[in-house]
Amino acid sequence: MQSSLPEQESVTWLNRISYAGSDDHKLILAVPSLFIRDYVSTQYKQTITSLLHELTGEPVAVEFTVKKVPASPDSKEEEKTQPHREAMVKSAPMPKAQKRPKDPNINNSYQFDTFVVGDNSAFAYNVCMAIAKNPGVSYNPCLIYGGVGLGKTHLIQSIGNFIQESTPELQVVYVTAEMFTNEFIQSIGEEKTPQFRNKYRKADVLLIDDIHFLQKKASTQEEMFHVFNNLFEANKQLVFTCDRPINELQDIADRLKNRFTRGINVDLQPPDFETRLAILRRKCEGKSSYISSEVLEYIGKNVNTNVRDLEASLTKLIAYSNLLNKEITLDIAREQLKSTYSMSKDQSMSIDSIIRVVADYFNISPYDIKGKKRTKSVVFPRQIAMYISRTITDFSTTEIGYEFGGRDHTTVMHSVQRVEGMIQSDIAVSNSIQNLIRQAQNFKREK
């Protein structure tokens, strides 16, 4: 097998396999880690089995076991003095695999052990940990989606940091979709497209953040499509993040959407109160600062959006305490954060306000819009209210569906698409909806 493979591939993988034992029609091979076991089993087991059958004329089963074998410093000298010793008694030290340079775009502070896991993120966390331990073996490709500040970047970069530490022979590449786009445009302008493609298509693990940035960028999507195919067919690990489910993205080629959703999709929801409190305590420990439980609970109850807003509130209080040398009391916290909370409330449009404005316009009750009625006189205003909620607020389709009587996010998506179609084909409907949007925004200001 070594003679048929590139030298680097042979050094990286085959030279890390050693004889562990044998039984009737069974060969047991040892490797130094679970990752290598899974990789060589996937990539080489069938070839090894075929070669053994060819050499022995009999079927031989192959099994892999994990066994770390320390290299002997004087094994080369022993080989000189004992040239006829059986190689299977003690293997010569394995050649060292080439250590890849770390990706400078990956922030070392993003680690799995600094991520606070709650009910909102447990599934996503465990999927990412499994990927980091066995890249390219399972959950490939992986898409992590959710609103801003919920931990997508933390998780995707944690994968990169874990692999760079545990399996340094793998080439990890992390970029945002914006960086990928800018590099692609620059490579065309400087006539360096081959170098650009070489960078991404030779990655063992490709991590791309914020793929919603690819909307309306047809040429970049085309290049991403080819990069994806090249790596996926070579069993390389692909992980992406997005601020919403892929099927909600506009102006993304269907074939690219299909590939993003080919593997596993996991979502991150806003953290519950207990998780928010745990995050605040962890942040205090990280900043070596003391904030009373009473104040932390006050922050946790008032900031229910995302982790980024939690940290911003905490950072402001810690700065106040350090600069003025004062202990943060509940009264101080209320005074310092009141503008932050009021700003947040002003910026987030209330879905109830939108429903009320739409209900008044169509002369029906808000209860009907949220209810189960499916008559045309109710369904049309309900779809418009969902469309406006999706257009002028930051709420996800899941959150909007919940506000509309616990409906599924696919119902919201269908409503948005239907209203978008009517806007394009009917100028009267378009004008009415623009008028309703203005009324909803004015309603918020009046309140």
Q: Which CATH number fits the domain that encloses residue 206?
A: 3.40.50.300
Output the pLDDT for position 56. Answer: 82
Residue 39: both structure tokens together: 């990789």
Same domain? For 129 and 259 the reply is yes
Burial profile 24-56: b = 16 or more Cβ within 10 angstroms, e = fewer: eeebebbbbbebbbbbbbeebeeebeeebeeee
Instruction: Identify which has the larger pLDDT, 446 or 307.
Output: 307
pLDDT at 11 over 60: yes
pLDDT-derived band at 341 (thresholds 50, 70, 90) equals low
CATH of the domain at 64: 3.30.300.180
pLDDT at 53 over 60: yes
Same domain? For 117 and 162 the reply is yes
pLDDT at 79 over 60: no
Residue type, 157: Q
Output the pLDDT for position 87. Answer: 43
Residue 182: both structure tokens together: 């800018």
Q: Percentage of the chain with pLDDT > 70?
A: 89
Output the pLDDT for position 89. Answer: 35
The count of structural domains within the chain is 4
CATH of the domain at 289: 1.10.8.60
pLDDT at 263 over 70: yes
Out of 93-102, 138-147, 366-375, least confident range: 93-102
Same domain? For 198 and 116 the reply is yes
Alpha carbons 47 and 44: distance in angstroms, whole number: 5
Out of 100-104, 112-116, 132-136, 291-295, least confident range: 100-104
Alpha carbons 104 and 101: distance in angstroms, whole number: 9
Output the pLDDT for position 223. Answer: 92
What are the strands, taking DSSP E only, across 47-177?
61-66, 142-146, 172-176
Output the pLDDT for position 147. Answer: 78
Output the pLDDT for position 432. Answer: 85
Same domain? For 251 and 142 the reply is yes
CB atoms within 10 A of CB 345: 12
pLDDT-derived band at 93 (thresholds 50, 70, 90) equals very low
What's the rounded mean pLDDT across residues 295-318? Answer: 85
Residue type, 105: N
Model confidence pLDDT, tens digit, residues 174-184: 999 999 999 99
pLDDT at 29 over 90: yes
Domain stops at, among 219, 241, 268: 268
Same domain? For 264 and 117 the reply is yes
Same domain? For 325 and 378 the reply is no
Domain stops at, among 347, 374, 402: 347
Output the pLDDT for position 97. Answer: 54
Instruction: Identify which has the larger pLDDT, 69 or 17.
Output: 17
Model confidence pLDDT, tens digit, residues 136-171: 887 889 999 987 788 999 999 999 999 999 989 899
Same domain? For 7 and 58 the reply is yes
- Could you tell me which residues are beta bridge partners of residue 21? 28
Nearest to 35 by CA among 62, 19, 15, 13: 13
Residue pair 206/173 in contact by the 8 Å Cβ criterion: yes
pLDDT at 237 over 60: yes
Output the pLDDT for position 61. Answer: 92
Output the pLDDT for position 85. Answer: 40
Residue pair 295/328 in contact by the 8 Å Cβ criterion: yes
Output the pLDDT for position 43. Answer: 80
Same domain? For 204 and 308 the reply is no
Nearest to 242 by CA among 262, 213, 271, 220: 213
Helix axis angle for 293-302 and 307-324, nearest 10°, is 140
Residue pair 303/313 in contact by the 8 Å Cβ criterion: yes
Residue 37 belongs to domain spanning: 2-69
205-209 and 264-268 beta bridge pairing:
unpaired
Same domain? For 322 and 341 the reply is yes
Alpha carbons 440 and 350: distance in angstroms, whole number: 9
| H and E: helices and strands count for the chain | 19, 8
Answer whether residue 295 is part of any domain.
Answer: yes
φ, ψ dihedrals at 138, nearest 5°: -135, 165
pLDDT at 66 over 80: yes
Answer whether residue 82 is part of any domain.
Answer: no
pLDDT at 208 over 50: yes
Output the pLDDT for position 426. Answer: 81
Alpha carbons 408 and 430: distance in angstroms, whole number: 26
Same domain? For 146 and 240 the reply is yes
Answer whether residue 75 is part of any domain.
Answer: no
Alpha carbons 39 and 60: distance in angstroms, whole number: 20
Same domain? For 406 and 419 the reply is yes
What's the rounded mean pLDDT across residues 38-61? Answer: 83
Q: Percentage of the chain with pLDDT > 90?
A: 29
Model confidence pLDDT, tens digit, residues 221-233: 999 999 999 999 8
Same domain? For 190 and 324 the reply is no
Output the pLDDT for position 30. Answer: 92
Domain stops at, among 69, 91, 120: 69
Give all strands of the β-sheet with 61-66 in edge-to-edge order.
18-23, 26-31, 61-66
Instruction: Identify which has the larger pLDDT, 84 or 415.
Output: 415
Output the pLDDT for position 444. Answer: 57
**Residues for the chain: how many in total?**
447
Answer whether residue 228 is part of any domain.
Answer: yes
φ, ψ dihedrals at 144, nearest 5°: -110, 125
Answer whether residue 8 is part of any domain.
Answer: yes
pTM above 0.75, yes or no: no
Model confidence pLDDT, tens digit, residues 379-410: 999 999 999 998 888 788 888 988 898 888 88
